[in-house]
């Protein structure tokens, strides 16, 4: 009864162990030769002019989060849309409810003024 779970446990253990092993191996084997040029601040390979620290507006993060939400929505909606003609009524209603929940979230963000670029 527990036999199928052994494979899942092994894959989960390997999935946690392998990234840790590669990070530790990189830390141990990587050359460590710091110098002032490597430690200097640059942007896109060019030395910065003026202040090197700038504070970004919080609106950028909100736009990114909203983009991610609707990008994931598209990923979830694609298989539903492809098989739309073969779906039963309750499956169509679940998709419609999913779209309505996301539309309500968009309307809330719009009403709060989050989407205005100021």
Looking at residue 104, which CATH number applies to its domain?
Answer: 1.20.58
Decide: 51 and 109 in contact? Cβ < 8 Å.
no
Task: Give pLDDT, residue 117.
Answer: 74
In tens, the pLDDT along 5-37 reads 899 999 999 999 999 999 999 999 998 888 887
Task: Give pLDDT, residue 52.
Answer: 66
Decide: 66 and 109 in contact? Cβ < 8 Å.
yes
Is residue 19 domain-resident?
Answer: yes
In tens, the pLDDT along 55-72 reads 777 778 888 888 888 888
Is residue 116 domain-resident?
Answer: no
Is residue 117 domain-resident?
Answer: no
Is residue 89 domain-resident?
Answer: yes
Decide: 59 and 67 in contact? Cβ < 8 Å.
no
Domain that holds residue 82: 3-111
Tokens of 21: 């092993």
Task: Give pLDDT, residue 1.
Answer: 67
Phi and psi for 66 in degrees, rounded to 5? -65, -40
Q: Which of 63, 56, 57 is nearest to 114 (CA)?
A: 63
Is residue 118 domain-resident?
Answer: no
pLDDT of 107 strictly over 80: yes
Task: Give pLDDT, residue 10.
Answer: 93
Chain position carrying tokens 């309750």: 90
Is residue 51 domain-resident?
Answer: yes
Number of folded domains that form the chain: 1
Q: Answer with the residue of higher pLDDT: 15 or 45.
A: 15
């Amino acid at each position: 009864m527990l036999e199928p779970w052994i494979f899942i446990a092994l894959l989960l253990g390997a999935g946690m162990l392998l990234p840790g092993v590669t990070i530790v191996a990189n830390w141990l084997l990587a050359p460590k030769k710091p110098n002032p040029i490597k430690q200097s601040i640059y942007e896109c390979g060019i030395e910065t002019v003026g202040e090197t620290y700038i504070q970004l507006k919080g609106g950028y993060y909100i736009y990114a989060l909203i983009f991610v939400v609707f990008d994931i929505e598209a990923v979830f909606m694609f298989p539903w849309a492809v098989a739309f003609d073969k779906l039963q009524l309750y499956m169509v209603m679940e998709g419609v409810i999913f779209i309505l929940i996301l539309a309500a979230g968009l309307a809330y963000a719009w009403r709060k003024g989050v989407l205005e670029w100021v």
